[in-house]
Structure 1
Amino acid sequence: MQSPEPKEPSVQNQRFYLKLAIIAFLILFLLIPQAFMLGLVGERASWRQQAYSSIEQSWPGMQTLAGPVLIVPYQLTYNTKERVKDKDGKERETVREVTDHELLYLIPNQLDIASKLQSALRYRGIYDVPVYSSGLQISGAFNTQPLLDLIATTKGKQLHWDKPQLSVMVRDQRGIAAPPSLQWNGANLAFKPGNNLLGSASAGMHAILPEIDPTQTSQVPFAFDLELRGMRSMNFALLAENSAVKLSANWPHPSFSGELLPETREVSDTGFNAVWKASSFSYNVSGALEQCRQGECAGLLERAVGFELIQPVDVYQQSERSIKYAAMFIVLTFVVLILFELLKKLRVHPVQYTLVGFALLVFYLLLISLSEHVDFLRAYTVAALASTSLLTLYFGAILHSRKLGLMLGSGLAGLYALLYVILQAEENALLMGSVLIFTVLALLMLATRHLDWYALTAGNSPSRTASGTDQPAPVIADDAP
């Protein structure tokens, strides 16, 4: 029986281009599960945020300490002339006594805060949230000169002083572990709940003070200790002419935030120390106090410095960044398989391409799920080894060569290793990723620069099919060296 004549080259070319179209469609199809992976990361991150919110319901939340602010109420009584009409319609001038109730807000001319923070972890399911208990030592002094200035500007009017108070604002009042005691000008006074400020959420505490002598300038010292609990972040609103905050904590991964960075900081594996210094020129303190006097005191909490207790590795952020490279891994793997089809005269079925694509995507699913239970490096290593081992065995089977399977598996393992390095280099991730893509493309172009693609895709009958028959050698361009 005569062997069938080889098909026309045009038919072979049509089949090859049809297969390329199918593979291109397959790559586009695999972008759907890639998008699913990205959505899964967002969903798991939202569940973690729900865990944070759940813990926050039973533990004080992010804290901001503002103050203390000295509030001196006073009454100003004076006579004012008015023109009124009597019953006959004639205008006459009358004198009416008016009493205004006002508040004088004073900030310390010196404020010193020393904080020693102890952190711990609270768990809700598989998620953990850093919480803390901060021991605060707050001291300073008020200058009473503004009282004399007020007297000087209200001459001719009756000025009556009411009981002054000292107010301290705290974002979440549940964090005050025990009622502190205030040392005011040598006397011990008790704080009461609520900051007693107009226009605020009343979170904090206040103390009723003895009367202040307004006839002479003096420095009134104060001091109190406060144990404040919270979670994730701590901030200090520096409402003083001159402020200094010294902070030490046992959390090794701080992220400093606010309107001013610390002047000095030391971060180690056992914790960190930081020092902030600021003056009233650093913030618009007078503007915030004026808003508070008008009943909007919430702005006092906004002008703050502080830090956040961040997790050393955000597994969801790194997983999301790694998934964005999935398309590159799929395209590169498929290109290599196509080259082996042409060079070794093999036939890889589109179903096999599909299985390879899904095996590449399963790596990211393993990475997301494992990183929720173990550290990211261990999760990445296990997921990469599992995916690479599976694909190495499968490549060896479909390419009928254990050597080729090991070659492709080793190359894939190297790409996973490079990807991990890119994920760790957050600031240089874009640069390193661009260099990686350029390098892979350059190597692929240089390795195939002498191939005669027309000859490879022409009518050379395959010599190795599913039964393992031989194929002719690959065709190289005539001008190859």
Structure 2
Amino acid sequence: MKNRLLFKTVSLLIVLAMLMLGLSMIQDVVKDRIRNRDYAVQSVVSSLAGSQTLIGPALVQNCTETTSNPNGKKIEYTTREFQRQLLPDSVSHNANAAMEERSRGLHLINAYVLHDQIQASFSNADQFSLPPSATGATKATVSCGKLYLSFALSDPRGIRSATVEANGKELNVESGTSLEYYSKGIQSEINPATLKKGEPLSISLKLQLLGTERLAFTPIGAENKVTLTADWPHPSFGGSFLPARREVTDNGFTANWEISSLATSASTAFTRQQGLCRSGYGDSETDYTVTSAARAAASGNGPCLETMNTEFVNPVNVYSLSDRATKYGLLFVILTFVAVGLFEVMKKLRVHPVQYLLVGSALCSFFLLLISLSEHLGFATAYVIAASSCVALLAFYATHILGSIKRGLPFAAAISALYGLLYVLLQLEQTALVVGSIALFAVLALVMICTRHVDWYAFGRGDNDAPAKAVADKELA
């Protein structure tokens, strides 16, 4: 057939299209497993507690200003409600997170029990001993309600215990806060009469809190210090501020933050009751409902509440690695076809497009084996088993389609090298692109060197080639 090269090319393109469809279906399987994992996390969160964001403490008092306006023989009254707030001069957290793994089906979720000792100081707390002045109206009076120390949490279901002391005196702890948008948390009533002029108010809050996967602190004080220790060796620090000092060992980590109000707009955002900078106030449906103002702030249209985040991540995420592996699937198939094509051209063999399809199908099955086994055995073990199985199958099949074991073994070695390269690329994050680019260039150079003497016109006419079995029989004869 004079146009055999064109026919072969079109046939291989059709085969590649079929394999791309198969790889797409496998990617859908990976995404479905990721959704199952997310559902498992949400299932645990809905019955346990979600990620925790700690905001506060702050002094809060709701007030009402009433103004009398004479209108002929009648007197009309107008009221204005407002809230007095005082943020601390200094806040310090001495926190320890003890990790607890929770499971849902095949999936493990990182939960923690946080023991946090919080110290806060308010230098001007005595201002609450007197009601505020009216806003210029001659016939206005101001009345204020109870004074509360409010401490907001993203998911108060995780509270196991909480004690609050003010100047050494223990206070009663109530559920909820007096803050409109940060309404979840705890609060304690403080008698304004006990606040003496010129004396700071010292607050001590001991909190035992349950959460999952992420922990965040907000720097709303003038000076903010956080010391966090945990028995988890794989932290991921984020938010608006990284730790000033951190030490990570095989047994856990210690991290320290020191944030001044000069470096953050968190106090302004808190006073305006805006949302968190990343995704509003809270990360899941169990967290606070984000207001339109909070959404505007989070999108960059105003100050947002900055945080110091710590995520307790797993060092090997089998789903993200499997997802990355399937993205290399088409390249993997093409490189394998190049290897088969080299044998076909160099040894003057004839490999049918159906045989290419079977080889490609074996390669696609590797990715399906990888995701299914990694859920039970871990990624590295699953990768070795899946790769070894596919290499053994392809070595056996290549020995027959290429005509001899002398050709099957080098082909198997080439496939093994591809699997090794893929594993290296999956382990690399920052340098994966450069390593992959160099590898592709090396493959291209190898193909060009091996085929530099090939007469492609003769190959297109089908001269001097025969099925692999016939070549093998001729060699044996």
TM-score by length of 1: 0.85
In the alignment, the residues of structure 2 paired with residue 23 and residue 334 of structure 1 have an alpha-carbon distance, to the nearest angstrom, of 9
Match of 2:20 among 31, 39, 46: 31
- Of 451-460 and 202-211, deviating more is 451-460
Match of 1:240 among 190, 204, 221: 221
Deviation by residue 1:48-100 (Cα, 9 ceiling, x = unmatched) = 1111111112111111111111113455567x665x356xxxxxxx9877775
In the alignment, the residues of structure 2 paired with residue 371 and residue 357 of structure 1 have an alpha-carbon distance, to the nearest angstrom, of 22
Query: Which residue in 1 is equivalent to 2:109?
Result: 129
In the alignment, the residues of structure 2 paired with residue 285 and residue 461 of structure 1 have an alpha-carbon distance, to the nearest angstrom, of 78
Match of 2:455 among 440, 452, 457: 452
Q: Structure 1 stretches of 5 or more lacking a match?
A: 1-10, 87-93, 472-481
Aligned 1:106-255 pairs, distance under 5 A: 106-144=86-124, 147=127, 162-178=145-161, 180-200=162-182, 202-212=183-193, 216-255=197-236
Aligned 1:26-425 pairs, distance under 5 A: 26-74=15-63, 82=70, 84-85=71-72, 102-144=82-124, 147=127, 162-178=145-161, 180-200=162-182, 202-212=183-193, 216-292=197-273, 302-425=305-428
- CA 1:214–1:160: 2 relative to 1, 3 Å: farther
Deviation, structure 1 residue 369: 0.7
Amino acid at match of 1:163: K
Deviation by residue 1:18-61 (Cα, 9 ceiling, x = unmatched) = 22321221112211101111111111100111111111121111
Deviation, structure 1 residue 302: 3.9
Deviation by residue 1:163-216 (Cα, 9 ceiling, x = unmatched) = 3111111111111012x221111211120111132344x321111112246772
Deviation by residue 1:113-146 (Cα, 9 ceiling, x = unmatched) = 1101001211111111100000000112111268
In the alignment, the residues of structure 2 paired with residue 399 and residue 97 of structure 1 have an alpha-carbon distance, to the nearest angstrom, of 97
Amino acid at match of 1:319: S
Deviation by residue 1:404-461 (Cα, 9 ceiling, x = unmatched) = 1110100110111111111111112222222221221111112211222223444534
Query: Which residue in 2 is equivalent to 1:90?
Result: none
Amino acid at match of 1:174: R
Query: Which residue in 1 is equivalent to 2:280?
Result: none
| Superposition CA RMSD, Å | 2.8
- CA 1:114–1:301: 2 relative to 1, 3 Å: farther
Deviation, structure 1 residue 327: 1.7
Q: Structure 2 stretches of 5 or more lacking a match?
A: 275-288, 295-302
Assess if the C-alpha contact under 8 Å between 1:193 and 1:206 holds in 2.
yes
Assess if the C-alpha contact under 8 Å between 2:86 and 2:125 holds in 1.
no
Amino acid at match of 2:53: T
In the alignment, the residues of structure 2 paired with residue 199 and residue 186 of structure 1 have an alpha-carbon distance, to the nearest angstrom, of 30
In the alignment, the residues of structure 2 paired with residue 394 and residue 81 of structure 1 have an alpha-carbon distance, to the nearest angstrom, of 96
SS of residue matched to 1:372: helix
In the alignment, the residues of structure 2 paired with residue 308 and residue 344 of structure 1 have an alpha-carbon distance, to the nearest angstrom, of 56
Report percent identity of matched pairs.
Answer: 34
In the alignment, the residues of structure 2 paired with residue 297 and residue 36 of structure 1 have an alpha-carbon distance, to the nearest angstrom, of 37
- Of 115-124 and 330-339, deviating more is 330-339
- CA 1:159–1:358: 2 relative to 1, 3 Å: closer
In the alignment, the residues of structure 1 paired with residue 455 and residue 248 of structure 2 have an alpha-carbon distance, to the nearest angstrom, of 59
Amino acid at match of 1:240: G
Deviation, structure 1 residue 158: 5.8
In the alignment, the residues of structure 1 paired with residue 231 and residue 364 of structure 2 have an alpha-carbon distance, to the nearest angstrom, of 39
Deviation, structure 1 residue 249: 0.5
In the alignment, the residues of structure 2 paired with residue 145 and residue 342 of structure 1 have an alpha-carbon distance, to the nearest angstrom, of 87
SS of residue matched to 1:449: coil
Deviation, structure 1 residue 226: 0.6
SS of residue matched to 1:470: helix
Amino acid at match of 1:246: T
- CA 1:463–1:98: 2 relative to 1, 3 Å: closer
Deviation, structure 1 residue 161: 5.5
User: Number of aligned pairs?
Assistant: 447
